[in-house]
Structure 1
Amino acid sequence: MKAVQFDAFGPAHEAACCADVPDPGAPADDEVVVEVIAFPINPADLLTIEGKYAARPPLPYTPGAEAVGQISQTGAGVDGLASGDHVMLLSRENWAQKRKVKAAEVLKIQTQPDRLLQYAMLKVNPATAALMLREYVELESGDWLIQDAANSAVGHCVIRLARKAGIRTVNVVRRESLVAPLKASGADVVLVDLDGLSGQVSEATGSGPRLAIDAVAGDTSLRLAECLAEGGVLVNYGMLSGEPCKMMPDWLVFRRLSLTGFWLARTLGQMPRAGIESLYAELAGHVRDGTLAVGIEATYDIADIKGALAHAGQQGREGKILVLPNGQV
């Protein structure tokens, strides 16, 4: 069977390749075999291949934080799962045609044929958006938040989930061309990141947002923090700028602002199984009712993983890059 591997850290489209690897074989009593239907390429995957993520894995390594698949075999001791079930893979190393994992490392999901690829993107971005919206500030209907990278997959999820909850969003982007599409997606206010941002935000929101969601860091963190209401929280979940987060110490002291970080893997690792199941059942429901729909720019065969990775690393994309390791759905 085929899997994506890399044996040295470096630019993703150069370091990773499609390799022939042994078939995983029959499952043990507590395992299942999953035929992978689709997996997305996320920024965390690119950082993993580059050796810039949380911890460097042992090499050679198969990346892949998320995927959707269909069970083809179950172990004799597995209950509640059967061949043919669609599942989301909770563990990593998912960029392969097949996965053999513990039954506890998959989550059965109710899917729809016309939205199957959306479930491949359920684990990371929708969950990141949902948890950042609820874990740091008790936002109520009518409250404001501000976010950068608003055209990203997480950004779109924040907009849609916030709108469903009655929370209003200020969305900061780098290009004027993104304003109209984001407004059409449900964004309340869309601003191009220029000097004078805090004045525009104050004029739009009145008292200012209570929550800022930051994927960029660097000077952008500072500009978002300047926009916050007293006692507001800036949550950073990315480093698109490659620079440290910035915050004025007098804002921490006199305006009671706070700066914290969000990492999905740690948050999920601290949640009980029931909490994880509840979270993803809720998010899967949002996919079914159309609240969540992440844009897809292109799909690739696993044999062209280098092309897929190069595409995923390009600026200005209008959607996610997905790989279909067992052919078109």
Structure 2
Amino acid sequence: MKQAIYRTHGKADQVVELIDLDPRPLELGETRIKILRAPINPSDIIQIAGNYGSQPALPAQIGLEGVGEVMEVHGSGLDIGTRVIVPNPPGAWATEKTVPSAGLVPLPDADLDQLAMLIVNPATAYLLLTEFVDLVEGDWIIQSAATSAVGQLVTQLAKARGLKVASVVRRKSAIEALQAAGADAVFMDGPDLARQVAEGLDKAPVLAIDAVAGETFSRLTDCLQESGTIVLFGNLSGQNTCVPDQTVVFKDITMRGFWLTQWLQTTSPEDIGRVFGELTTLIATGQIHSPVERVYPIEDIHEALSHAMRGNRSGKVLLAPNGL
């Protein structure tokens, strides 16, 4: 079998290795999964760089999510050929993975690439919209990084619930595509963002979702209605957040953070199953969809990583560990 690992932190396309391993025999209660697709997420790149919220001991396997099919079972379990989500811990950038049989859930017949991206981005988008504010039809939300995979899913999920979406971008070339994708309003990030939003919307947003941090975080808080909430889940700018005291005090702004790993670790299996069940249905029925720019065989992992680390992509980069 082939497995991607990294022995030191650094740029992913430079430090990730593809090694050959002999599969070990299954123990009772284990299932071997043939991995069919595995996306390259920003969180994978950040973890390899050593900047993630938690770090495994090195050398470490990598690949936070993927989809595969059951190829071998020791004891009771799912039928051979059943499609399943590749469970944590990381290691989905491999041709196969051995996991506990307990907890594996069969997936419906749906687009393979979309199922591979079920865990990280759809769940993040879904929870950003449901965990922090009781939104009602007609409410405005505002988000940065609107062209990202999470941003596009936030728009799709929000529109399905009757919410209005204001998207904030950092390049003019993104405006037309976002409007076509369903954004109700698009604004250029900058010092006058709050003025643009106040003049462009019929009422102030109740929720702001930010993956940029730095000055963008501060500007988004200025766009919120009184007692509004802003949720930070990324740091694309590499800068610390900075919010004036007057904004927090006089507007009574609530600032929250979100990290999917923490949610997975602290949420009951029943609630996790409910969320992923809903998301699986949305994917299977085509109600949510993430664009894919290219799928690479795992042998081309370094080219795939270089591609994934480029800006201005139109979709995700995925690995096909067992062929396209």
TM over 0.5, shorter chain: yes
2:126 counterpart (124, 130, 135): 130
Match of 1:33 in 2: 32
Instruction: Name structure 2 gaps, 5 residues minimum.
Output: none
1:300 match: 296
What is the aligned partner in structure 2 of residue 319 from structure 1?
315
C-alpha distance in structure 2 between counterparts of 1:131 and 1:253, whole Å: 27
Match for 1:82 among 79, 84, 92?
79
- Pairing 1:98-177 to 2, within 5 Å after superposition: 98-104=96-102, 106-112=104-110, 115-177=111-173
1:118 counterpart letter in structure 2: Q
Distance in 1 of aligned mates of 2:170 and 2:218: 16
1:14 aligns with 2:24: no
Equivalence for 2:70: 71
What SS class does the counterpart of residue 61 from structure 2 fall into?
coil
| Partner SS state of residue 298, structure 1 | strand
Q: Report the 3-state secondary structure (helix = DSSP H, G, I; strand = E; otherwise coil) of the residue aligned with 2:147.
A: coil
Are 1:24 and 1:98, in contact at CA under 8 Å, matched by a contact in 2?
Answer: no
Q: Cα deviation per residue 1:156-183 (whole Å; 9 max; x = unaligned)?
A: 0000000000011000111111111111
What code does the residue aligned with 1:297 have?
Answer: E
Secondary structure of 2:146's counterpart equals coil
1:218 corresponds to 2:214: yes
Alpha-carbon contact 1:18-1:304 (below 8 Å) kept: no
Q: How much is the aligned-residue C-alpha RMSD, in angstroms?
A: 1.2
| Residue type at the aligned position of 1:144 | W
TM alignment of 1:124-273, pairs within 5 A: 124-273=120-269
2:270 to 271, 274, 288: 274
SS of 1:108's partner is coil
* Corresponding pairs, count: 323
Distance in 2, Cα, partners of 1:289 & 1:42: 24
Give, in angstroms, the shift of residue 32 of structure 1: 0.9
Show the counterpart of 2:92.
94
Q: Output the CA distance in 2 between the equivalents of 1:146 and 1:75.
A: 49
SS at match of 1:299: strand
CA change 1:168–1:71 in 2 (3 A) is same
Greater CA drift, 219-228 or 100-109: 100-109
Alignment correspondent of 2:43: 44
Cα distance in 2 for partners of 1:189, 1:89 equals: 37
Matched, 1:290 2:286: yes
CA drift at 1:129: 0.4
Partners of 2:46 and 2:52 within 8 A in 1: yes
TM-score of the superposition, structure 2-length normalised? Answer: 0.97
TM-score normalised to the size of structure 1? 0.95
The 8 Å contact of residues 28 and 74 in structure 2, kept in 1 or not, is answered as yes
What is residue 2 of structure 1 aligned with on the other side? Answer: 2
Give % identity. 38
Equivalent residues of 1:225, 1:234 under 8 A apart: yes
Distance 1:104 1:226, change over 3 A: farther
Which shifted more, 191-200 or 11-20? 191-200
Q: Distance in 2 between matches of 1:312 and 1:161?
A: 25
Distance apart, 1:257 and its partner CA? 0.1
Question: Does the aligned pair in 1 maintain the 2:35–2:86 contact within 8 Å?
Answer: no
Which letter does structure 1 place at the counterpart of 2:20? D
Structure 1 CA distance, aligned partners of 2:29 and 2:175? 50
